[in-house]
Structure 1
Amino acid sequence: MAIGYLNGQVINSDDPVLPIDERGHQFGDGVYEYIRVYGGRPFMMKEHLDRFFRSAEAIKLNLDQSREDIEAITKDLIERSGLADCDIYMQATRGIAPRNHLFPNVPASISMTVKPFRMMDETLREEGAGIKLMPDERWQNCWIKTLNLLPNLLAKQEAFEAGAFEAVLVRDNVVTEGSSSNLFLVKDGKLITPPATKHILHGITRMAVIDIAAELDIPVEEKAFSPDAVFEADEVFLTSTGIEIVPVTSVDRQTISDGKPGEITKKIYEAFMKRV
């Protein structure tokens, strides 16, 4: 069953428990992490918690709980839920205090939910997805996984309304990432992905794919590229915790290569699922 957690209490995930003066609600003053659980085991939990604590430190958010505390809470919630395959969202905010831009002297607030997998339409994996290129209008520090996702949501919605699966963002004629994913190209047998600068989220699945490519002796180059490189790629795919690996077969309604998921993309996805 789906369950929740808020500051030491296990709750029903639908319970109305969020105080009006919660700073995540008032300001988006917090960070979050999303972990996928396969067969009762959180996938790459260490890497997710590394990023969670890096994000908290980047916004000067002091967490009372240690990594070990959060890991123990997470595992307890998985057991209580009875779900073998599930999604975990955890959020840390600057706490509950009267609205004021200055940081309050109150404990940080931690919340989590454990819910069944959100299943993706598998035809996207079999046939490939379409993406829409859009201006990257987000702030400069996209590497921090904050709660402030409105520009991402607007881009994703516009892409959806245009019939695309994902919005891929472009800043100063350089492709950065998807609204909720990282992007890889395949060209002449080599993987190419934007470098892990402050302008992209350093994806955990992105990390896994780079590691898998090394195991498969597939060269990887992290470098900046323009939208033209996407149109000219042999293969394109997206990665994220939620979608894992999804091939892209069209950009702005223009077909990529032969319009079918590529062999290298398939090989990497198969290796990823073995790792899972």
Structure 2
Amino acid sequence: MKACIYHQNQICEPHLWSGFSLNRGLFFGESPFTSLKLVDGSYQGVDLHFRRLDKSLEFLFGVNLSDYREEVEEGLNKLHENSGEYYFRITFTKTLNGEIDFFIYKMPYVNQEDELVLEKSNVIRGKTNLPNFLKVGNFLEYTLELKERTDFNEFVYYNFENHLLECGTSNIFLLKDGVVYTPALIPGILDGVTRSLLLQFLREENIPVKETTLLESDVLDSSEVWLTNSVKGVRSIKKYSGKEYLNETWAKLQEKFKNFVSEYE
């Protein structure tokens, strides 16, 4: 007996499935993606995003981005704008019939974020077998906790060893005594594009930076805490666990970093 699907009062055989957008992302969460920003006609860090997609497609589907890059670039060209800021998400998946497919989502970017108040997530992250470069479309834990709690607008994850990992949609950096710290890439921490760009920028500016194991006490001992995200950029938090943080150092660096990202090859 062949597999079939019941939908809208019809029993559909596999040759009819193409009309239902059925894929392994919907069934199994296999939906590798990357999010990037278009700013005044320039896609920021696009080559780094393509590298992520290439690794992700090889890991999940055993194919190379090079087979689809021309189509993706054609889509980005058709969606291109010469001015303004836009959020883009490129998502790949595999249909139930085994075909690789992708779509590009685009929307105007408007920063509506208030002052960042960070709190510790109630979710404790365990070990994972997923590589650091992989992003897939499952934010259920994150969105549910955001609905349940109103005392913050972003939260931070720790693992069972109380090691600092990352935030809900961002990597995290700490500034203490003139040195910038960020968690080393252990399982459970995304190798974010903006994380990579900020590390390179800080080193080129001769600002001491360390990738290492960090605890909650390190967050509380820091003078500034920065969150990195490919669309929102780098943002300083205002408060964590009742402590208020400064924004002196990043306020001095942010324009230079924006120029660094816009000129990045």
- Range of TM-score over shorter length: 0.7 to 0.9
1:167 equivalent to 2:155? Answer yes
1:242 equivalent to 2:231? Answer yes
1:110 equivalent to 2:102? Answer yes
What is the CA distance between 1:83 and its match in structure 2?
Answer: 6.1
Residue identity matched to 1:119: N
- Counterpart in the other structure of 1:9: none
- Counterpart in the other structure of 1:265: 250
What is the CA distance between 1:61 and its match in structure 2?
Answer: 4.4
Residue identity matched to 1:249: K
Residue identity matched to 1:164: F
Assess if the C-alpha contact under 8 Å between 2:90 and 2:104 holds in 1.
Answer: yes
1:150 equivalent to 2:140? Answer yes
1:220 equivalent to 2:205? Answer no
* Runs of 4+ with deviation above 6 angstroms: none
Give the secondary structure class of the aligned counterpart of 1:30.
Answer: coil
State the alpha-carbon separation in 2 of the partners of residues 64 and 71 from structure 1.
9
Give the secondary structure class of the aligned counterpart of 2:207.
Answer: coil
- Counterpart in the other structure of 1:87: 87
1:231 equivalent to 2:220? Answer yes
Q: What percentage of aligned pairs have identical amino acids?
A: 20
- Counterpart in the other structure of 1:3: none
Query: Unaligned 5+ residue runs, structure 1?
Result: 1-16, 98-105
Q: CA-to-partner distance for each residue in 1:44-94, whole Å, 9 max, x for gaps?
A: 100011011112222234257536414522432323x67642111111112
- Residues 175, 184 of structure 1: alpha-carbon distance in 2 compared, 3 angstrom cutoff: same
Q: Matches of residues 114-129 of structure 1 in structure 2 within 5 Å? A: 114-121=106-113, 124=115, 129=116
Q: CA-to-partner distance for each residue in 1:96-119, whole Å, 9 max, x for gaps?
A: 44xxxxxxxx21111112221142
Structure showing greater radius of gyration is 2
State the alpha-carbon separation in 2 of the partners of residues 26 and 58 from structure 1.
18
Query: Unaligned 5+ residue runs, structure 2?
Result: 1-17
- TM-score normalised according to structure 2 size: 0.81
1:189 to 178, 195, 204: 178
Assess if the C-alpha contact under 8 Å between 2:172 and 2:226 holds in 1.
Answer: yes
The RMSD of aligned alpha carbons is 2.4
- Residues 52, 219 of structure 1: alpha-carbon distance in 2 compared, 3 angstrom cutoff: same
Q: Matches of residues 11-160 of structure 1 in structure 2 within 5 Å? A: 19=20, 21-62=22-63, 66=67, 68-79=69-80, 84-97=84-97, 106-121=98-113, 124=115, 129-134=116-121, 135-137=123-125, 140=128, 141=130, 143=132, 144-158=134-148
Give the secondary structure class of the aligned counterpart of 2:237.
Answer: strand
- Residues 82, 25 of structure 1: alpha-carbon distance in 2 compared, 3 angstrom cutoff: farther
- Residues 120, 272 of structure 1: alpha-carbon distance in 2 compared, 3 angstrom cutoff: farther
Q: What is the aligned length?
A: 240
State the alpha-carbon separation in 2 of the partners of residues 137 and 209 from structure 1.
25
Residue identity matched to 2:124: D
Assess if the C-alpha contact under 8 Å between 2:40 and 2:82 holds in 1.
Answer: no
- TM-score normalised according to structure 1 size: 0.78
